[in-house]
């Protein structure tokens, strides 16, 4: 039996680290246990065979919670220095579009014919996204059985804050918000723009990581979710690894212990109260609270289904998490000459989504367990912006490839994996001719590989589909939305909890605050 902690955090991804730092900052003794040999989970980096750093899964920042930054003392600049990237909507015909600060122009500098319509639409979505972001920094609103009591009223607090902001919108905006918030991206985009790379890119942002096409109701919500912090995307200098390192340093400096290679096999429960964890090597660590950053299903299994009522077990088992995003990481010995795309644009966030219609069409095969033949891709070449990205020269390209099934017909054989790489390369080749010839090493990560590496069910980067029936009050599932997870002292602090995934940190922070409030209340009672 080793030391006793006030809290242990299971999982050293960004949410686990944020939770630990939040607890440590409040003076709690806390220990993070990460199964893998390095911290970071989805944001952990890797390396190509020649030692060049590889942005393994996540590659950009766009949604970090300001509350997290503020409370952990990072300031508005964030944990690491970043560079804002323009979005480049690639067009197989060569009429690429560049979006900077919500304003599109053609890549050759000419004005975009739909610039004004796009600006209006994007600004509105950002405005609405900001409204939704109000809900991210607190547990989701909940209607109490007894509205009259004070605790019940407090649970409606975030809704009241939202209502206040909502009132500040103009009347037209208010009507429009209520019309489109549950709507589908296909209609909302094509009501304002003609179909093409610009519209397609917006649609691609609405469905990135999702098991949904832009025609699915609810995709406007996910688009707003993504645009909640203004809609820009930033490349962290030093990669996502640097973000993780900064979070880890902060947690450590606040007093948290961080252990890697420590696989938790069980959350120990006594008298319906979580009291510690057991590791794979048999070590037991006692703790007053256990915060679990894994996916909800795994968190339940760690504590044991016996500690959940049968409805909760059923709901957790039914939570949908079918990842559709694969990763292709390329080591390049140089860059192809792409007419119309200079190094500055090539260094942007490259989106291959030629039209809304084609994004929808790319989704269809995945429903039947097949890889899309014309995938939607978000690619970045960090080495054009960040000298640390390829210290030995050459370049690195990181691509999120959609849609790719988690469990394809026939399974992920070596041949299927090679085929995925070839399909993705061929798609990139349509906009970046000559790219394939520059590849010296490639790593393909299927959703199934991502699941193996991070434990995310289905390889889904939100730990569970971010769809309307799994959001807010019913995330991860109905009745368990406020981070308390089964036995007393057991909390869910990962992306499966409200408000959801992306490198945001809000679930970790919110869960830690609930745990702290419970601990304080417990101490006061004792």
Partner 1 sequence: MSEHGRYDAIVAGAGHNGLTAACYLQKAGLRTLVVEKNDWIGGAAVSRSLTPGWTYSNCSYVCSLLRREIVRDLDLPRFGLQVIPYEGGGSFTRDGRHFGYYADPAQLRRELRRHSPRDADAYQRYSRTILRQCRFIRPFLLRPAPDPLSARPRDLGELAFLLKRAHGLGSRELGETIRFWTASIGDFLDEHFESDLVKAHLAGSGIIGTGLGVYSPGTAYVLLHHYMGDVDGAIGAWGFARGGMGAISNALAAAFEEAGGTIRTGAGVEEILVDDGKVTGLALSDGAEFRAPIVASNMDVKRTILRHTPRAALPEDYLRAVERFKIRGSSAKLNIALDGMPEFPAAPPGASFLRGDLHCSESLRELERAYDDWKRGRWSDEPYFDMLIPSQIDPTMAPPGKHMMTVFIQYAPYELEAEGLRAAGNWTPERRQAMAETVLDKIEVACPDIRRRIHHMEIRSPKELEDEVGLTEGNIFQGELTFDQLLFNRPVPGYARYDTPVKGLYIVGSSAHPGGGVMAAPGANAAREILHRIGRAGNMPDLAA
Residues of this chain that interact with partner 1 (CB under 8 A) are: 142-145, 147, 171-172, 174-176, 178-180, 182-184, 187, 191, 212, 215-218, 318, 320, 360-361, 364, 367-368, 467-469, 473-474, 478-479, 481
Provide the terminal-to-terminal Cα distance of the chain, rounded to the nearest Å: 26
Closest distance of CB 10 from partner 1, Å:
26
Closest distance of CB 185 from partner 1, Å:
12
Strand spans (E) along 197-347? 233-236, 257-259, 264-270, 273-279, 284-292, 325-332
Closest distance of CB 219 from partner 1, Å:
9
Give the span between the Cα atoms of 143 and 387, in whole angstroms: 51
Residue 140 has what DSSP assignment?
Answer: P
Task: Identify which of residues 145 and 270 has a Cβ nearer to partner 1 in the complex.
Answer: 145
Task: Identify which of residues 106 and 156 has a Cβ nearer to partner 1 in the complex.
Answer: 156
Task: Identify which of residues 83 and 174 has a Cβ nearer to partner 1 in the complex.
Answer: 174
- Looking at beta carbons, which pairs linking 381-384 to residues 24 or more positions away fall under 8 Å? 381/332, 381/335, 381/346, 381/347, 381/350, 382/55, 382/59, 382/235, 382/239, 384/335, 384/343, 384/346, 384/347
Give the span between the Cα atoms of 299 and 412, in whole angstroms: 26
Closest distance of CB 176 from partner 1, Å:
8
Alpha helices in 181-286 (DSSP H): 185-190, 197-207, 219-226, 239-253
CB atoms within 10 A of CB 177: 17
Give the span between the Cα atoms of 388 and 362, in whole angstroms: 34
Closest distance of CB 312 from partner 1, Å:
11
Task: Identify which of residues 125 and 285 has a Cβ nearer to partner 1 in the complex.
Answer: 125
Closest distance of CB 179 from partner 1, Å:
5
Closest distance of CB 108 from partner 1, Å:
29
Task: Identify which of residues 83 and 320 has a Cβ nearer to partner 1 in the complex.
Answer: 320
Residue in the block written with tokens 């995938």 = 375
Residue 340 backbone dihedrals phi, psi, to 5 degrees? 90, -10
Task: Identify which of residues 83 and 367 has a Cβ nearer to partner 1 in the complex.
Answer: 367
Collapsing DSSP states into helix, strand and coil, what is residue 59? coil
Task: Identify which of residues 160 and 178 has a Cβ nearer to partner 1 in the complex.
Answer: 178
Closest distance of CB 318 from partner 1, Å:
4
CB distance 451 to 357 below 8 Å? no
Task: Identify which of residues 74 and 166 has a Cβ nearer to partner 1 in the complex.
Answer: 166
Task: Identify which of residues 285 and 471 has a Cβ nearer to partner 1 in the complex.
Answer: 471
Closest distance of CB 418 from partner 1, Å:
27
Give the span between the Cα atoms of 60 and 208, in whole angstroms: 13
Residue 237 has what DSSP assignment?
Answer: T
Q: Which tokens is 313 given?
A: 């077990």
């Amino acid at each position: 039996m080793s030391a006793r902690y006030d809290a242990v955090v299971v999982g050293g991804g960004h949410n686990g680290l944020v939770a630990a730092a939040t607890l440590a900052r409040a003076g709690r003794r806390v220990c993070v246990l990460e199964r893998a040999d390095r911290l970071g989970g989805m944001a952990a980096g890797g390396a190509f065979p020649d030692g060049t750093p590889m942005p393994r899964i996540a590659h950009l920042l766009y949604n970090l919670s300001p509350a997290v930054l503020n409370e952990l003392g990072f300031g508005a600049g964030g944990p690491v220095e970043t560079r804002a990237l323009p979005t480049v909507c690639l067009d197989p015909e060569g009429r690429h579009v560049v979006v900077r600060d919500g304003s599109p122009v053609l890549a050759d500098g000419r004005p975009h014919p739909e610039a004004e319509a796009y600006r209006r639409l994007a600004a509105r979505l950002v405005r609405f996204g900001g409204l939704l972001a109000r809900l991210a920094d607190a547990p989701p609103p909940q209607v109490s059985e007894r509205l009259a009591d004070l605790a019940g009223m407090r649970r409606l607090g975030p809704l009241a804050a939202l209502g206040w902001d909502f009132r500040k919108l103009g009347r037209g905006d208010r009507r429009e918000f209520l019309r489109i918030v549950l709507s589908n991206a296909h209609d909302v985009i094509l009501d304002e723009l003609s179909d093409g790379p610009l519209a397609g890119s917006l649609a691609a942002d609405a469905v990135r990581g999702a098991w949904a096409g832009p025609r699915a109701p609810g995709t406007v919500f996910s688009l707003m979710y993504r645009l909640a912090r203004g809609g820009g995307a930033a490349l962290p200098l030093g990669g996502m690894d640097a973000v993780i390192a900064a979070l880890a340093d902060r947690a450590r400096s606040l007093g948290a212990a961080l252990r890697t290679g420590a696989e938790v096999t069980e959350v120990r429960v006594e008298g319906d109260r979580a009291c510690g964890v057991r590791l794979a090597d048999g070590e037991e660590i006692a703790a007053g609270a256990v915060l679990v950053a894994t996916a909800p299903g795994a968190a339940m299994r760690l504590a044991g289904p016996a500690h959940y009522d049968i409805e909760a077990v059923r709901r957790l088992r039914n939570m949908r998490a079918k990842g559709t995003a694969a990763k292709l990481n390329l080591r390049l010995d140089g860059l192809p000459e792409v007419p119309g795309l200079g190094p500055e644009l090539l260094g942007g966030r490259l989106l291959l989504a030629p039209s809304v219609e084609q994004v929808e069409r790319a989704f269809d095969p995945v429903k039947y367990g097949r890889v899309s033949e014309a995938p939607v891709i978000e690619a970045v070449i960090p080495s054009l912006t960040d000298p640390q990205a390829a210290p030995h020269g050459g370049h690195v390209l990181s691509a999120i490839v959609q849609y790719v099934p988690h469990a394809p017909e026939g399974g992920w054989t070596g041949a299927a994996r090679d085929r995925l790489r070839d399909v993705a390369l061929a798609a990139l080749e349509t906009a970046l001719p000559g790219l394939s010839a520059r590849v010296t090493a490639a790593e393909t990560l299927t959703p199934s590989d991502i699941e193996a590496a991070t434990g995310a069910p289905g390889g889904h980067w939100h730990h569970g589909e971010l769809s309307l029936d799994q959001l807010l009050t019913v995330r991860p599932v109905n009745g368990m939305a406020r981070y308390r997870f089964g036995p007393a002292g057991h909390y869910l602090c990962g992306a499966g909890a409200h408000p959801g995934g992306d490198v945001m940190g809000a679930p970790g922070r919110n869960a830690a605050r609930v745990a702290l409030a419970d601990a304080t209340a417990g101490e006061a009672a004792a």
